[in-house]
Amino acid sequence: MTTQALRALALKVNGEDTAIGDVPVHTTVLDWLRDRGLTGAKEGCAEGECGACSVLVARPGIEAQTEWTAVNACLLPIASLDGQEIVTSEGLGQPAELHPVQEEMAVRGGSQCGFCTPGFVCSMAAEYYRPGRTACADGGDHEHGPNGFDLHSLSGNLCRCTGYRPIKDAAYALGDPVENDALAVRRNSPPPPPATTGMVVGEAEFVRPASLDDVLGLLADRPGAQIVAGSTDLGVQVNIFGSRPPLTVAVDRLAELREFSFGDDEVRLGAALTLTEIERRLAGRVPLLAQLFPQFASRLIRNGATIGGNLGTGSPIGDTPPALLALDASLVLASRRGERVVPLAEYFTGYRQTVKDADELIKTIVVPLPLAPRTAFHKIAKRRFDDISSVAIGYAVDVVDGVVREARIGLGGVAATPLRARATEDALIGRPWTELTVREAAGVMAAEGTPMDDHRASASYRSAMLGQSLLRFYFAEQEAGA
């Protein structure tokens, strides 16, 4: 095996500096850890759905300098953590000195066979250390415990034997970290800076360039390069389908792709910001996206997944395109030749095909302001959370004096590409916002797209759900008094 690197790749694991060593480029963090005896993390699905593999990574924080972020170790290539810092379940505590999360899981019966337990512990520890988690004055609700613990932080962890009540009990029993807790103290220091990485093993190469200009140069010279951020899609391709891109280019830590601004005329979202980062920075100021985020996979996935990646795949069943179409979003595409702005409605051209050239990447997502006052995101899937949608619909409607002045409806899962429901929009605009109008428009909407039969839903079911979704949106607005 021939290995070349700009320098010896290494990271900090449970506080110890550790060389990555001579491993294939597409080796996952999970396999790398287990090969070194850290077997707490398990492979349950290899797709990021079960959470048995979760570990903690030191990432830039929003309310603190560093935030311990739970991620799926089965999806990330170990080369992507060059120069970074991770903690596994073994690093949290040992039998003689359990971490508070481990202790609560033990005494409250949160573990039986134990296969999933280390993953739950790491996800729970990330929420335990989340800056801003404080006790709820009202005692909590069905999603938050009295200690402010967000149950959605465990939505990506599955348990088949213990049952979730004792795990919930353990989460809600956690107090605040003590003053001398090393991981709590670590939040007060900056996270590791992104390393400039170059690794070649055989014919495969992993690169983390230092700047956007370097990335664009690579794309110009080698347009077949695989761009990767959170690896929530590529990781599945590697694990399940045996994909081995010759050149993988990591862009998740590039400052030029991590822009965030909320101005008077537009919102600008960097393509490499994770969904969790966007969710917390927006803080509900874009209600349509606020409805989308909890339904996009799990917290573990959202901690790595990016809008740029979701759009870059060109998938017709991605969750963000319907919402962004309803928001009339545009994309800034960058290449060595310069930048251009493309309306999202003109971005998709065919099944997993877009107007993005091989030497371009998505730099920024732009949402114009002001926002429509009536918005909603509907996702029809077999599970409420952590599932791929059969149909997804984004709504943005403006009604003035009882008449629909503007309507934008984004659809996913009903054609080879995400699309605007243009015929339905035309059936609404200029007409009174009444049940009669909406029922007539629902009939039009049921015929939008070219839905197909597959293992998730039949074509007739998808069509029926489109019409029912519009009626559901209308009646929800009426009940809200809008």
Left (φ > 0), alpha (ψ -120 to 50) or beta: where does 35 sit? alpha
pLDDT digits (tens, 9 = 90+) for 212-259: 999 999 999 998 899 999 999 999 999 999 999 999 999 999 999 999
Confidence class for position 76, pLDDT limits 50, 70, 90: very high
Sign of torsion over alpha carbons 213, 215, 216, 220: positive
Give the best-scoring range by mean pLDDT among 176-180, 200-204, 386-390: 176-180
> Which of 80, 117, 87, 84 has its CA nearest to residue 102?
117
CATH topology of domain 257-368: 3.30.465
Angle formed at CA 331 by CA 257 and CA 260, multiple of 5 degrees: 40
Tokens 């003109």 locate to 346
Q: What is the per-residue pLDDT for 382?
A: 84
pLDDT digits (tens, 9 = 90+) for 80-106: 999 999 999 999 998 999 999 999 999
Q: What is the per-residue pLDDT for 186?
A: 96
The pLDDT of residue 482 is above 70? no
> Which of 405, 413, 410 has its CA nearest to residue 461?
413
Intrachain domains 257-368 and 374-479 with the same fold:
no
Q: What is the per-residue pLDDT for 1?
A: 33
Per-residue burial over 361-395, b if 16 or more Cβ lie within 10 Å, else e, is bbbbbbbeeebbebbbbbbbbeeeebbbbbbbbbb
CATH of domain 374-479: 3.30.390.50
Span 6-192 CATH architecture: Roll (3.10)
Domain boundaries, the chain: 6-192, 257-368, 374-479
335 φ/ψ angles, rounded to the nearest 5 degrees: -150, 175
